[in-house]
Amino acid sequence: MKNNTNQVSVWCIVSLASIPLVMTLGNSMLIPVLPILEDKVGITSFQSSMIITSYSVAAIILIPIAGYLSDRFGRKMVILPSLVLALIGGLVAGFASWKMDDPYTVIIIGRILQGIGAAGAMPIVLPLVGDLSHDDEEKTSSTLGIIETSNTFGKVLSPILGSLFAAALWFLPFFSISALSLISIMLIFFCVKVPKEKDEPITFKEFLSSTKEVFKSEGKWLYTVFLNGVLVMLILFSMLFFLSENLEKVHHIKGIKKGFVLAIPLLLLCIASFISGRSIKGNIKTIKTLMVASLIMMSASVVFVGFTSKKLFLLLAVTSLVSIAIGAMLPALDAIITDNIEKSLRGTVSSFYSSARFIGVAAGPPVMSLVMKNMLNVSYITAGVLGLILLFVVWKFIKTEDIKRPEEST
């Protein structure tokens, strides 16, 4: 246990938490800036939504590859080059916005580079926490709670920092992502000491066979967790995109003030995530209870988002309830993956989960840009119905007695 403490030092946790913070800022910070981008670059709301989606699509495709590489060659060997790519992507998008008359295509290229960087950095943090904690369930769950809180805290800071940077220079958020990536690179390089592997890494053939076996034996609960990741991120990012547009066009709240208003539901999401992470302590029954309660709360509140869109106080109250539910669920989803998959495949399986989450992130803004004019209420009612369907799936397929710890299955 003493060795555990040495491995997961305060600075190590801070360094690991910097990755989801930076990667979240790299995406969410642009949401309040999208209306400004539409005006400055001369693009539609759908085109502006693709600035978020291009980042996420690149991540979706490459995350599983990064997961295997991290299992094969080491977490740190994948994370550091990925952060460098995120840094370069920010510079590409920033210089294009600054120097080019028609920068949209090059901005998308920069965002794709950032997405590739995100694919190799953010998802690898989850299995690395399990490695450093030596599979101590309580320590792993607690650290994952901090990591997910950092992720959600990034969402709180995003609208505020995005609005502040854009008020100075509309393209400054792109450059800020590069600066933040550099800080994370330095922290990971100097502060994260990964324990040396005693076992030989598995071959690619063994990896494919083992992965197939994991999904065959654990598929029911794994796919259920993946579906939860898709839905909650789809709802969250579509809601944030809608809220950003709604605050400007309906309530005439712009600039830094809009950033602070957007941060209200996200702050509650962050607090819920922190409390949830501290409460789990590696307990499967607690995880399932949190998932069920969160799905009920999310489904019951999300249906009212469209109906309250013209009443600011009610809109913020409803979106805050949705955010609290999502915030409580995210550490539970992280923990059930990290605690219950053996170390040699942890990076791969958690990467598939992260890829599922990015599907929701990618789909949310463009879907909302298409439906918010004529089908706003229908779309949120549909989200509520999907949440209830998923509630049934969780209740049926996540059986606490059937989920075996890695050490239990050996």
66-70, 193-197, 380-384: least confidently modelled range: 193-197
224 pLDDT band (50/70/90 cuts)? very high
Pick the most confident of 135-144, 163-172, 374-383: 374-383
In the chain, % of residues over pLDDT 90: 39
The pLDDT score that the predictor gives to residue 373 is 82
Closest CA to 155 of 258, 318, 265: 265
Residue 43 near residue 37 (C-beta atoms within 8 A): yes
Asked whether the predicted pLDDT for residue 408 surpasses 50, the reply is no
Q: Does pLDDT of 3 surpass 60? A: no
Residue 82: both structure tokens together:
């990925």
**What digits encode the pLDDT tens for the residues 32-47?**
888 888 899 999 988 9
Is 1:134 a contact under the CB 8 Å cutoff? no
Tell me if 351 sits within 8 A of 123, measured CB to CB: yes
| CB count in 10 Å sphere of residue 105 | 10
Give the confidence band of 67 by pLDDT, cuts at 50, 70, 90. confident
Domain ranges of the chain: 2-191+201-408
Choose between 366 and 148: higher pLDDT. Answer: 366
Beta carbons of 95 and 88 less than 8 angstroms apart: no
**pLDDT score of 300 more than 90:** yes
Residue 405: per-residue pLDDT: 55
Q: Is the pLDDT of residue 144 over 80?
A: no
CA 318 to chain centre: 21
Is a pLDDT exceeding 90 seen at residue 72? no
Longest dimension (CA), the chain: 61
Give the residue-averaged pLDDT of 181-205. Answer: 79
249-264 confidence digits (pLDDT tens): 899 998 889 989 999 9
Question: What pLDDT is recorded for position 361?
Answer: 86
Q: Give the tens place of pLDDT for each residue, 310-325.
A: 999 999 999 999 999 9
Q: What is the pLDDT of residue 283?
A: 77
Band of the pLDDT at 4, cuts 50, 70, 90? very low
**Cβ atoms 74, 196 nearer than 8 A:** no
CA 357 to chain CA centroid, Å, is 6
286 falls in which pLDDT band (50, 70, 90)? confident
Q: What is the pLDDT of residue 126?
A: 75
Asked if 106 and 187 touch (Cβ cutoff 8 Å), the reply is no
- Is 395 or 347 the better-scoring residue by pLDDT? 395
DSSP string, 221-283: HHHHHHHHHHHHHHHHHHHHHHHHHHHHHTS---HHHHHHHHHHHHHHHHHHHHHHHHHHTT-
Q: What is the pLDDT of residue 409?
A: 45
Q: Which of 122, 169, 141 is nearest to 28 (CA)?
A: 122
pLDDT at residue 99 in the model:
92
Q: For position 197, what pLDDT does the model report? A: 60
Q: What CATH code would you report for 2-191+201-408?
A: 1.20.1250.20
